[in-house]
Amino acid sequence: MAAVVERTPVQKWYKGKTIFVTGGSGFMGKVLLEKLLYACSDLERIYVLLRPKRGKSPQTRIDDWLKLAVFKRIKEEKPDVYKKLVPIPGDVTSDRLGISPEHEKLLIETTDIVFHCAATLKLEAKLKDAIEMNTVGTKRILDLCQQMKHLTALLHLSTAFCYCDKEVLTEKVHDFHHNPYDLMRTVEWMDEKALDKITPNLLTPHPNTYTYSKRLAEMLVRDVYPNLRVCIVRPSIVCPANAEPVEGWVDSLNGPVGIMVAGGKGIIRSMLCNGEYNAEVIPVDLAINGLITIAYTLGQMAEMPKDIPVYNITCRETKRTTWREVLDMGKATAYEYPFEAGVWYPDGNITMNKTYHTICVILFHWLPAYLIDFLMFCFGQKRFMCRIQNMVTEGLSLLQFFTTRQWNFKSHHYQAIENNLSPDDKRIFTMDVDVIDTKDYLRRIMLGGRQYCMREPLSTLPKARIQLKMLWVLDKVAKAFTLYFMLWLILTVTGLRAPVYEMLGW
């Protein structure tokens, strides 16, 4: 007879609950669904808002997820709970979320908890698209939630960077000189070309449409409080999993993962970044544990606070890692676990000198890109390096706003949640960043990007290490030749070549 496992307070609270999730197909969304199913298996059901994609129905998409590494332990240990994942066809960019009247009634009658994670994360997205997805989409979710009869917790996923004009980013919603309702009406009627022209002025002081539209969305959420039991959750830069559900799991090259992969393959050789500033990153599994326990905390509140609860899921002040430390440890990791088919030896650097950075970009980014494409053209192959370099350049220019500023996040509300958890819940839903070894975590990020994004199995490491040694030799030879050529050019132009050669006995 199997032993009865005692449930923790958090697990007991989730028992029998019906959950509605938007953004379930995203990076954080998949990890959230997996952890809920695995750790809170007694929940009643999880409804996931999904649209058809690439000819696949929402149900087919969910069925395909079970093949991913992120759901490996569900498939092996608890395959039956996966049946509790139910798709709701719809889209946050459609009126009334694009869901049928039957599904709308089902959600209104049965939902207890809502995780609103859907958003466009593209920093370069057009203002119309960002507002429609991140701001108007949030308004549609709020409209639906206000009709839900049993709602005990609504979590709105925002970003820790939505108040980039503040020196200290506290856990509160600040006023803004733009009215979100005015902006939603503006993008609805204004011609897209006219909207693109006024976008730079509208965004100030925000660097992109993502943080701007997220800030507007927070104001919408604040407006429905306390009529709804809602809170705002702001993670910083979310990175691959530390331990759960699979070490290093990641499904895209966004953010630091893309930089590490591109750096590891020798594509990125220079980046504008202040090495002394903190790298505000958080592993996705710790962020998701935070979401789950925040919902529990919100649902347990006997009396709601005066102001809307806000939680910054950021690193503690006791666990700060600088960009320089990340770079140095990342290099060492890239040398130990190299990528296949690197274009150059991974030996890039960071700088705050824009002139030096520009020179490095020309010499080490664009010249090799044109050279490789020229060789591909000569051999009748498809050219790709200049296209990749364009993407890298655009991505770096967007990220440099975050890597050239010191961010001062306060997360007292968030840290207090862990202090109030039982010992078992602290173990199951760990939120403690302090116990993570940074060097070991960077190794997991590198291997995760290698396996899950680049599809390079660990069995190829011996071959990749041989390739790395060959690239090292090529790098040294190329640098020696370049140095010789520059000296030759200088001596020739200055007329000193003959005297110098004579002095050296050449």
What's the pLDDT score for residue 1? Answer: 39
Tell me which of 254 and 48 has the higher pLDDT: 48
Q: What 3-state DSSP class applies to 442?
A: helix
- 473 found inside a domain: no
Let me know: does 88 contact 62? Beta carbons within 8 Å: no
CATH (domain of 235): 3.40.50.720
- 70 found inside a domain: yes
If you average pLDDT over every residue of the chain, what do you get? 90
Around 208, how many Cα atoms within 13 Å sit in the side-chain half-sphere? 21
For the chain, the straight-line distance linking the first and the last C-alpha, in angstroms and rounded, comes to 90
- 339 found inside a domain: no
- pTM of whole model > 0.85? yes
What are the two backbone dihedrals, phi and then psi, of residue 156, each rounded to the nearest 5 degrees?
A: -100, 120
Residues in CB range of 265: below 8 A, 6 or more apart: 339, 341, 342, 343, 344, 346
Tell me which of 479 and 72 has the higher pLDDT: 72
- 49 found inside a domain: yes
| Beta-strand pair 230-235/153-157 | parallel
**Exposure string (b/e) for 355-393, b if CB count within 10 Å is 16 or more?**
eebeebbeebbeebbeebbeeeeeeeeeeebeebbeebe
Residue 23: pLDDT band by 50, 70, 90 thresholds?
very high
**pLDDT at residue 73 tops 90:** yes
**pLDDT at residue 324 tops 90:** no
Which tens digits make up the pLDDT trace of 106-135?
999 999 999 999 998 787 789 999 999 999
Percentage of residues of the chain with pLDDT beyond 70: 99
- 489 found inside a domain: no
| Beta-strand pair 349-351/237-239 | unpaired
Which tens digits make up the pLDDT trace of 192-243?
889 999 999 989 888 899 999 999 999 999 999 999 999 999 999 899 999 9
- State both tokens at 192: 């897209």
Our count of domains for the chain comes to: 1
What's the pLDDT score for residue 3? Answer: 47
- 313 found inside a domain: yes
* Alpha carbon distance 346, 399 (integer Å): 20
Cα 447 from chain centre: 17
- 292 found inside a domain: yes
CA distances from 227 to 147, 194, 290 (A): 11, 37, 24
- 18 found inside a domain: yes
Domain that holds residue 218: 9-248+280-321+406-447
CA distances from 472 to 81, 268, 440, 463, 469 (A): 50, 16, 25, 14, 5
Of the candidates 334, 341, 367, 364, the residue with the CA atom closest to the CA atom of residue 351 = 364
Residue 75: pLDDT band by 50, 70, 90 thresholds?
very high
What's the pLDDT score for residue 204? Answer: 86
